[in-house]
Structure 1
Amino acid sequence: MTASAPETPPLDAFRGDRVYLGADHARNERRTWIAVGVSLATLTAQFVGGLAFNSMALVANALHMTAHVAALAVAALAYAVARRYADDPRFAFGTGKVGYLAGFANAAVLAVSAVLIAVESGRRLLAPQDVHYDGALGLAGVALAVNIFCMWLLRPARSHAHDRDGDLNLSAAHLHMAADVAASVLAIIGLGAGRLLGWDQADAVAGLAGAALVAHFAWRLLSRAGAVLLDMNPSAELTAEIRRRLETEDARVIDLHLWRLGPGHHAAVVVVAGEAALRAETCRARLAGLPGLSHVTVETRIAGPDSR
């Protein structure tokens, strides 16, 4: 038995209700496109240089960075799509999850690139080849500098640097560049060991280590993006706070669902049962001001012998 009638606010009250984009959406989109251009130029130089100097570490970096350029382009397009269709009524809860979908796709690309690098590095480990170390080391150093610049460019805004509810699309792009930095460092170590110690297999070992790092980053991204796409509860703390604000001596929460709509935005559906009639607007007022709670649906019931 429902104790409160649905509210009938003016139609204008619902305008913009589906827009759940991150606070730094425009900034992040602009910086991601810049990173695409810089990374594209760098990977071209790395690939050509890797073939010219016969360095597997450089070729592996180029292959890995090719996946990153594609991933960065997907991330940039995700920002553009989310912005373009933010007000489209066909999306019941807006386009805030487009970035998470892009992050999941990028994680899958990372995983594939890790396998390709590992296979080729393993082949080179079994059959070492001559490497032109001086030229390869110089090019690897340039690639490292570019990767560090892109990683800095894609850093989260200071206000969201430690926000678990921040923009995962940007975090994925930033993580891609962090993987590139790590892979570049490993490539330089492998090339340096080969040049100084004469160990031709060091280059391939560096490629294998880079593949392991890429696989680790891919798993982290898959886990984070998958949790959002499957509507897993994003915050035990926010769930507990909603329950605390709504439950009283004569009312209790009998059903509560919380999920993420986009960076910094959450939705909640709550059913509250009480011994006396409750007003839905009263419950909503108790939840007003909760950080990150952008969409709330409340149903109230009179508690009875069948209430659970």
Structure 2
Amino acid sequence: MPTRDAYRRDRAYLGVDHMRNERRTWTVAAICAVTLAAQLAGGIVFHSMALTASALHAAAHVAAMLVASGAYAVARRQAGSPRFAFGTGKLGDLAGFANAIVLAITAITIAVESAQRLISPETVEYGSALILAVAGLAVTLVCVWLLRPHGKAHDLNIAAVHLHLTADAAVSLLAIFGLGAGRALGWAWADPAAGLVGAFLVAQFAVSLIRRTAATLLDMNPSAELTAEIRARLEAEGERVADLHLWRLGPGHNAAVAVITTADPLPVEAYHHRLKGLEGLSHVTVEVRRRGDDLAHGHA
């Protein structure tokens, strides 16, 4: 018989790539910190708003990576704690939501700074700023590769920081375009305009991420297809599913609670057996009631 500690570990509901993702977020956090320092210094020295925008976004990345890495570490260390009724798998989703808010604030900051530069333009040292912008983009692309999606678990924590970096790559590309246009064509407005467009893109990424993580934190149904499959299997012999709830526990893990009514109840284990092998279904509670009878005859 499994020990109590073994049972708790089985109910941790961490993603299969938890350790891999934790190591990579710590690595990328260190890379982003170095990039932030270089871009911020370049933006100040060369008076480039686009470069400063990239630096501000890099600062958000450092914070995002620290939040993501910390969430992985806490989830791992507290995986066996009885204080978490359904494990610690959702800590990553909470970190993803926090990072989405930071991303939204970053977009607002970039937009405000860019608008101010459009109104009061400053002299930009385009050549030096371009070098730093290109270098920043190269570093960001390396980080995007390090945090590339892996598997089918849909880890929203790693997805959040990956989205941060993807947005940063887009901002860096716009910065390069703005600086290049300013240097080649003398368009002083191109640099801050690139910052404004970058702010809009970052905001779009933030809204998308807020929706995805909030859906998990609010226990919204994660899969209409899985819900339909559960219902079909439980009603396979004429039973009726009177109540069914499905929610996400962590990357690759979902829980279901079902109430079945039938004229001829089977042992509750029979209904569990029908759901056996469903991908992504990690925790099941079934209550069986005789049709017309309010008394529950079994649960697990």
Q: Tell me the TM-score range normalised by the shorter chain.
A: over 0.9
1:163-202: per-residue Cα shift (whole Å, max 9, x none)? Answer: 3x41111111111110110000000000000000101110
1:3 paired residue number: none
Q: 1:36 aligns with which of 13, 29, 34?
A: 29
Cα displacement (A) at 1:279: 1.3
- The TM-score with structure 2 as length reference comes to 0.95
Asked if 1:183 corresponds to 2:171, the answer is yes
Q: 2:250 aligns with which of 247, 258, 262?
A: 262
1:127 paired residue number: 120
Runs of 4+ in 1 over 6 A off after TM superposition: none
Cα displacement (A) at 1:16: 2.6
Counterpart residue identity of residue 48, structure 2: S
Kindly tell me the number of residue pairs found equivalent between the two proteins.
294
2:110 paired residue number: 117
1:214-235: per-residue Cα shift (whole Å, max 9, x none)? Answer: 1011001100000000000000
1:59-103: per-residue Cα shift (whole Å, max 9, x none)? Answer: 111011101110111001110011010110100000000000000
SS of residue matched to 1:29: helix
Question: Which runs of 5 or more residues in structure 1 are unaligned?
Answer: 1-8
Q: 1:295-306 maps to which residues of 2 (within 5 A)?
A: 295-304=283-292
SS of residue matched to 2:257: strand
Cα distance change, pair 207–17 in 1 and its aligned pair in 2 (3 A): same
Counterpart residue identity of residue 93, structure 1: F
2:298 paired residue number: none
Q: CA RMSD in A?
A: 1.5
Question: Which runs of 5 or more residues in structure 2 are unaligned?
Answer: 296-300
The answer as to whether partners of 1:278 and 1:301 remain within 8 angstroms in 2 is no
Asked if 1:66 corresponds to 2:59, the answer is yes
1:280 paired residue number: 268
Counterpart residue identity of residue 162, structure 2: H
The answer as to whether partners of 2:8 and 2:82 remain within 8 angstroms in 1 is no
- The TM-score with structure 1 as length reference comes to 0.93
Cα displacement (A) at 1:276: 1.3
Q: In the aligned structure 1, how far is the partner of 2:2 from the partner of 2:260?
A: 25
Higher relative contact order (CA 8 A, sep 6+): 1
Q: In the aligned structure 1, how far is the partner of 2:34 from the partner of 2:8?
A: 43
Q: 2:230 aligns with which of 236, 242, 249?
A: 242
Q: In the aligned structure 1, how far is the partner of 2:125 from the partner of 2:198?
A: 20
Counterpart residue identity of residue 208, structure 2: R
Q: In the aligned structure 1, how far is the partner of 2:217 from the partner of 2:131?
A: 42
Cα displacement (A) at 1:156: 1.6
